[in-house]
Amino acid sequence: MASVLEAKAVADRILDEVDKVVVGKRAQTELLLAALTVSGHVLLEDVPGVGKTLLARTFARVSGLSFKRIQFTPDLLPADVTGVSVFNQKDGEFHWRPGPIFANIVLADEINRATPRTQSSLLEAMEERQVTTEGVTRPLPSPFMVIATQNPVEMEGTFPLPEAQLDRFLLKLSLGYPTREEEERVLARFVDDVPAPTGLVASDAGWLAVLKDSLNSVTISQAVTSYILSVVEKTRTHAGLSLGASPRGALYLAKLSKALAAIRGREYVLPDDVKYLAPPCLAHRVIPKAESALRGKTGQDVIAEILAEVPVPVGFDPNGA
């Protein structure tokens, strides 16, 4: 069984390699790594030009995993994502041609520009790690992770993701604008060409197994479990929400907390891990009431209120109750 110190060493190597290309997004990269460790998917929502695609591509390259990019457009068909059978005139038979979904890391770029029919082609893949077409079910590569991007500003010609699909994303992240110092580094680094990572981690084929195995060394106490359940239950009774987080949200938050603890070299989950992860893990799973939305309150705002209201366990034994 891999130790959390081994997991932290692997994680630091990955984060350092990504830092050589992507400026100032170490926290988001750490969350991507935690999501991959627990087989989760990530939605990157932010304005154009802040590095969403660059982060996804660099993360995949450093990891040494196979990577495919799908540019979602209104005319994209489900078969363009999953694959199609093509007739071969030489032998007079149909041959299966897999789509770009058959990769370890799939970048679904501007996912909200595709029609709901095409968006739904990802549902089975994201939940069951398989694709069913023409009556045949085909397993996807393992590991499998979807990193989707969307622009929250430009709404014309887009199709908002339904709640069922949003709930399948483990995390919803925003990159944000860089600081002035970070932007100076961006200009200095990219004014001539895009640097390539050295691929340090790609040479170690077992790095992901180390991270996954280290989760067995991480304990989550009854006090922290109760804290997670209290936060999730509060989303279902909060006056500002019409829809709370699902049981999947509670499970994902617990799994993600263990992964973050391992990546940071700890054998136990802290309440601070839960507080840190709750907004990106739960905010997209809740729906504010109309009156809350009219006052400008988002899911992030309501989750912040809930975290301020729910008592944080103090003085507990990390390995016990």
Is there a contact between 37 and 145 (Cβ–Cβ < 8 Å)? no
pLDDT, average across residues 278-287: 93
- Residue of 60, 127, 72 lying closest to 99 (CA atoms): 72
What domains are defined for the chain?
A: 4-191 (3.40.50.300), 218-309 (1.10.8.80)
Asked if the model's pLDDT at residue 223 lies above 80, the reply is yes
State how far the Cα of 47 lies from the Cα of 53, in Å rounded to an integer. Answer: 12
pLDDT greater than 70 at residue 29: yes
Convert the pLDDT of each residue in 45-90 to its tens digit: 988 888 888 899 899 888 888 899 999 999 999 999 999 888 788 8
Answer for the pair 4, 318: CB distance below 8 angstroms, yes or no: no
Lowest mean pLDDT among 9-18, 100-109, 129-138: 129-138
Say what the pLDDT of residue 318 is. Answer: 67
The pLDDT score that the predictor gives to residue 196 is 58
Question: What is the pLDDT at residue 194?
Answer: 60
In order of 44, 303, 317, 319, the CA distances from 175 in angstroms are 8, 19, 35, 34
Percent of residues, the chain, with pLDDT higher than 90: 51
Alpha carbon 11 to its chain centroid, in Å, reads 16
Q: Give the list of residues 6+ apart from residue 124 with CB closer than 8 angstroms, or none.
A: 130, 131, 132
Looking at residue 319, its amino acid is N
For the cut 60, the answer to whether the pLDDT of residue 159 exceeds it is: yes
User: CB of 145 within 8 A of CB of 122?
Assistant: no
Q: Could you tell me what percent of the chain has a pLDDT over 70?
A: 92
pLDDT tens-digit series, residues 191-202: 776 665 555 555
**Pair of tokens at residue 39:** 């087989």
